[in-house]
Amino acid sequence: MSQIKALKRGENEDVKSLRTQGIVPAVVYGPKQEAISIKMEAKEFEKAYKLSGESTVVDLSVDGEFHDVLIHAVDRDPVRDTVTHVDFYAIEKGKKVSVSVELVFSGESPAEKTLGGVLVKVLHEVEVEAMPKDLPHELTVDLSILTDFEKQILAKDIALPAGVELMINPEEVVALVQAPRGGVEEAPVEAVDMSKIEVVGKKKEEEEVKE
């Protein structure tokens, strides 16, 4: 479990001044936790965030008092990409929590590699529920399942660790491979909102068409 040391922030402390010193202002709150304004070292937070993301429990120490928290929201400077503020959600002990977990795509799709199709990633995260200690940092999606243009990876196909429950429609499409233009007829994907997905290799395909 990642650890972060923080201090309570005074009411009159200037947040701009803190940021110039490499200190990040933050707040911790929860169903059984009154909101507390805190501050912490930016480098220490970035290290913990890299390891834990927003789906793994972090051990937050505030003036020596420990809290099991999730990193709920991270605000960044649009130009420098430095962290400007963080929300921590204090977990209620003995209660399950629902979080969105990142999907990591692994392996190769035969339909893309051999048949020349275009890989389409419909989802990049899924919501799950579990006890805090069972929450996964990420979930792996095996692309080797996509052997032809008829195959689709659904939410129910994602391997979940013990104690973790899927909180979205199990029939929701996660990934598929579309047939190349002018090739085999594309697999039907009427239920997929194509405006919200990532098409891997789409840019390359469009450039080839222009040529």
Distances (CA, A) of 29 to 36, 40, 91, 93, 125: 7, 16, 9, 14, 24
Domains of the chain: 2-92 (2.40.240.10), 98-210 (2.170.120.20)
Q: How many CB atoms lie within 10 A of CB 65?
A: 10
pLDDT in tens, the chain (211 residues): 789 999 999 988 999 999 999 999 999 999 889 999 999 999 999 999 998 888 889 999 999 999 999 999 999 999 999 999 999 999 988 899 999 999 999 999 999 999 999 999 999 999 999 998 899 989 999 999 999 999 999 999 999 999 999 999 999 999 999 998 765 444 444 445 555 566 565 444 444 444 4
Q: Can you read off the two tokens belonging to residue 72? A: 């709920």
- Residue by residue, DSSP assigns 88-141 as EEEPPTT--EEEEEEEEEES--HHHHTT--EEEE--SEEEEEE-GGG--SEEEE
Which residues, in sequence order, are bridge partners of residue 71? 88
CB atoms < 10 A from the CB of 133, how many? 9
* pTM for this model (two decimals): 0.72
Q: How many CB atoms lie within 10 A of CB 1?
A: 12
